[in-house]
């Protein structure tokens, strides 16, 4: 089991939640973040959007990646903030132990 505050080494040139080009499935970093989100009871879509927010994607990029409407994204983000008890995306990494 991964310690809540522990960090896994990132491969060179990788984003925090990106996927390795030669590997199938989620990266170690993504798995670590997903495990840290479990106590907050986020839905699968909320978890996916949280990962994209942590990665620093813009609203338009998230809309395209998730294939959802702007209003749906607003609802998901509102629920994420409520469940994590944060007021903005900048607070998320600290809340889940990434900083």
> pLDDT of 75-91, one tens digit each?
999 999 999 999 999 99
Q: Does residue 54 fall inside a structural domain? A: yes
pLDDT digits (tens, 9 = 90+) for 28-56: 888 888 889 999 999 999 999 999 999 99
pLDDT over threshold 50, residue 4:
no
The residue range of the domain holding 53 is 28-95
Total domains in the fold of the chain: 1
Q: 84 φ, ψ to 5°?
A: -85, -10
Q: What is the pTM of this model?
A: 0.73
Q: Does residue 14 fall inside a structural domain? A: no
pLDDT at 72: 97
Three-state DSSP at 5 gives: coil
pLDDT at 2: 42
């Amino acid at each position: 089991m991964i310690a809540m505050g522990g960090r896994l080494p990132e491969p060179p040139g990788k984003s925090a939640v990106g996927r390795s080009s030669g590997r199938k499935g989620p990266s170690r970093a993504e798995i670590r973040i997903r495990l840290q989100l479990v106590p907050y009871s986020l839905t699968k879509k909320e978890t996916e959007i949280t990962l994209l927010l942590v990665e620093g994607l813009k609203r338009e990029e998230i809309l395209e990646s998730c294939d959802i409407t702007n209003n749906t994204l607003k609802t998901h983000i509102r629920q994420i903030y409520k469940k994590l008890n944060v007021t903005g995306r900048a607070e998320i990494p600290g809340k889940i132990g990434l900083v």
